Structure 1
């Protein structure tokens, strides 16, 4: 299909873009043709193993929708990243400001967290995704935003619904190399079809709209040479996903066939079996296999049960999952939801959350939240914060209530053991012990010492009072004046 360009684009520019696009296609084709080549190009392992050399968005999309682990690979980092929503507020202000109130109202009214999660997932299926931003200005979608005061909607679209029709070619522009105009298919056959096929994604049809870049939030995950195209999360593990599909599907077929491997009927060479007898036997065999009959008349025929050939696919599946885990940085137990081994699972969870903490700042904040908020401030939809704003993420590694209770119990038992141990304070002074093993600061230790001193003084006063009362009672019993 021939690419359409905005009005006013001259023929020289069109030819230039077509040459660039052709050069990119040739480069990709050359790279794809080299995949799987070994022994100096004499052996093509990709062809021998049935792997596709060139992957399209439709390949990733269908696998995401139809293969369990593929969906998990795309969704797992997104779900963990946005599970604890960040707090976004104006810097240096304790009370809620106009910016704070406007942002909170916008988040609730437009369900922005849900939109961010969806565009993040779509960006991982393909090379990029976008949020189309609808404003209350009087301009068409193909025109720059001007005079907007309200965000009406934010609609996510995947790469399969988008065509970038124009790029910024001005080398002195801060947007050099980035899209200027998009063409978006807003209605397509996939959204109304119950059948998800690769053909459905390659024959999309619907209402095409030209959209200016000022009405778009462009999100690309894993971009390397430029900011426009990222790397699909399924690309580097696509071959392993095909292997997993073959192993799991083949195992199901193997167990299906192995449950009833079949029967071998051996006719006695000395038996007199006519054509009618063979026809009747054939009919009985069919009824036994496909019907409810559980007996056969086999006079003159010996029946042998075939030995099932069933292999355990567990080892092969585990190897494939480990390869996927290594490539995507997702622990196998996180990938499959397994909790075997408390210590190993806790360590995997800790490592995974550390990666997610990095992703929240390096991707979610840097390429989703800040570009979105900054754009709305520039347009005038959000008030301009005087000292700027800050994005505060919650602590992913914070302990649960159960874990906190267990830690408190362990620390209490350790402290009791320390205080009851004779001479322990001579080896490790109390101040050092509290600071090193309990993490208390010097100020906190001094405060505890002051409170302990107050408690001791109060206890001494109470004991002195008790002693005085006992002495007075003793003297009274002895008949002496108090």
Structure 2
């Protein structure tokens, strides 16, 4: 053996002993484990529609983020002004907040979604928007669009433009999602609100990081179900004895020799249909093949935890189980903080972008509108009352002066801190024998 051949032989042995260590023999995880190299938007959409855990992860994120609706305020705090009330009523009328919540759901699945603004400006969808007459009434509808239904058809290529590199027009194809017919037309970017984590069409699906975990859960669940079914079905395997005479078996069954196999299939099928059936064999032995499966919970639980981590949702909240009050409370608090962060980093910026655009269209009065939304991390009414009760109990244990004032206790209970107005009037303490109308006589 030549020196070169000896070296090559030694290298092959080292690669066999230490697979994956040498660059030439890296482990191809996607190929070996049955994972796709790329996750397309169609794959994510199919997984959302067909996988219960994927659907739960997306829907619970949306239900918590949008458990109540935001509002547009003229200042940093709600003033219940006339303009705010008019906006509230009109947005409720056209279902804007529900449309934006659904856009958020679709963006989690596809990476981005869109809302097409239908405006009463007497122009086509492919035309830019100027001034919309009629104020709020000029905003007629918010049309929801999946990612696959909307593609950029033209980009802004003028380097001198402040919108350089952004979409100029889109192609809307309604039939791109589950249909053979539908509307198809060009839409100007003025009339499209892109909803995504970064406000662009480059965002990726939130299901992509945990997509392999979803596939693994499908494999474990499918294999467990198939194994259980095969064991329960218990189809016999017929072993023909070497001394068996096929011609005699055919005569006993009343069929030609070439139909013995079909006759045996029919006999086995009849035997499986009822417990009172007999399996008549001649020169054959019936055996069953059982599938021995390990407990699938552990194999299913690992990708489940991994998928929950990819969405930032506690596993107990994802699957709806609670094993302890303390654990569930901590998970709930963490989930509140996560969804509160989604409001701040994703939802509020997109709502503010929509408000600024409506101001430019003269649909909304020219203001620096604020997006008002409740704080998901704020204590519940019951928790506030519990805090107030604890503070009052502490006051009772103090020998000198109370640790908390009445105002502080009321504020912790969720009130404004002011003492409540008396629920009685001066006549409640008046001598009932005195007529109030004649007390001065």
For the criterion TM > 0.5, the same-fold answer is yes
Q: 1:229 aligned to 2:216?
A: no
Q: 1:103 aligned to 2:74?
A: no
Check the 8 A contact 2:78/2:372 in 1, yes or no: no
SS at match of 2:154: strand
Cα shift at 1:168: 2.2
Instruction: String of CA shifts for 1:198-220, please: whole Å, max 9, x gaps.
Output: xxxxxx76432111111111122
Q: Which residue of 2 aligns with 1:330?
A: 313
Tell me, in whole angstroms, the C-alpha distance in 2 between the residues paired with 1:38 and 1:161.
Answer: 45
Instruction: String of CA shifts for 1:125-182, please: whole Å, max 9, x gaps.
Output: 2232211111111221111112313111111112101120222233443322211111
Q: Which residue of 2 aligns with 1:347?
A: 330
Q: Which residue of 2 aligns with 1:188?
A: 175
Tell me, in whole angstroms, the C-alpha distance in 2 between the residues paired with 1:155 and 1:262.
Answer: 54
Cα shift at 1:50: 2.1
Q: Which residue of 1 aligns with 2:54?
A: 70
SS at match of 1:130: strand
Q: Which residue of 2 aligns with 1:242?
A: 215
Seen in structure 2, the aligned counterparts of structure 1 residues 265 and 181 have a Cα distance that, compared at 3 Å, is: closer
Cα root mean square deviation, aligned: 3.5
Q: Which residue of 2 aligns with 1:474?
A: none
- Give the one of 364, 367, 375 matched to 1:395: 375
Give TM-score, length-normalised by structure 1: 0.69
Tell me, in whole angstroms, the C-alpha distance in 1 between the residues paired with 2:123 and 2:165.
Answer: 25
Check the 8 A contact 2:76/2:372 in 1, yes or no: no
Q: Which residue of 1 aligns with 2:15?
A: none
SS at match of 1:188: helix
Cα shift at 1:315: 0.4
Seen in structure 2, the aligned counterparts of structure 1 residues 211 and 337 have a Cα distance that, compared at 3 Å, is: same
Q: Which residue of 1 aligns with 2:148?
A: 160
Check the 8 A contact 1:130/1:157 in 2, yes or no: yes
Q: Which residue of 2 aligns with 1:212?
A: 188
Check the 8 A contact 2:391/2:409 in 1, yes or no: no
Q: Which residue of 2 aligns with 1:18?
A: none
Tell me, in whole angstroms, the C-alpha distance in 1 between the residues paired with 2:76 and 2:307.
Answer: 45
Seen in structure 2, the aligned counterparts of structure 1 residues 104 and 239 have a Cα distance that, compared at 3 Å, is: same
Q: Which residue of 2 aligns with 1:196?
A: none
Instruction: String of CA shifts for 1:369-398, please: whole Å, max 9, x gaps.
Output: 11111111111111223xx33322223234
Check the 8 A contact 1:91/1:390 in 2, yes or no: yes
Cα shift at 1:265: 5.7
Seen in structure 2, the aligned counterparts of structure 1 residues 254 and 307 have a Cα distance that, compared at 3 Å, is: closer
Instruction: String of CA shifts for 1:42-85, please: whole Å, max 9, x gaps.
Output: 34221222222123221111111111122223332222111121
Q: Which residue of 2 aligns with 1:16?
A: none
Tell me, in whole angstroms, the C-alpha distance in 1 between the residues paired with 2:74 and 2:36.
Answer: 50
- Give the one of 46, 54, 61 matched to 2:38: 54
Tell me, in whole angstroms, the C-alpha distance in 1 between the residues paired with 2:222 and 2:264.
Answer: 35
Q: Which residue of 1 aligns with 2:118?
A: 134
Check the 8 A contact 1:73/1:233 in 2, yes or no: no
SS at match of 2:23: coil
Tell me, in whole angstroms, the C-alpha distance in 2 between the residues paired with 1:364 and 1:222.
Answer: 10
Tell me, in whole angstroms, the C-alpha distance in 1 between the residues paired with 2:21 and 2:95.
Answer: 51
Check the 8 A contact 1:258/1:310 in 2, yes or no: no
- Give the one of 356, 363, 372 matched to 1:374: 356
Seen in structure 2, the aligned counterparts of structure 1 residues 283 and 56 have a Cα distance that, compared at 3 Å, is: closer
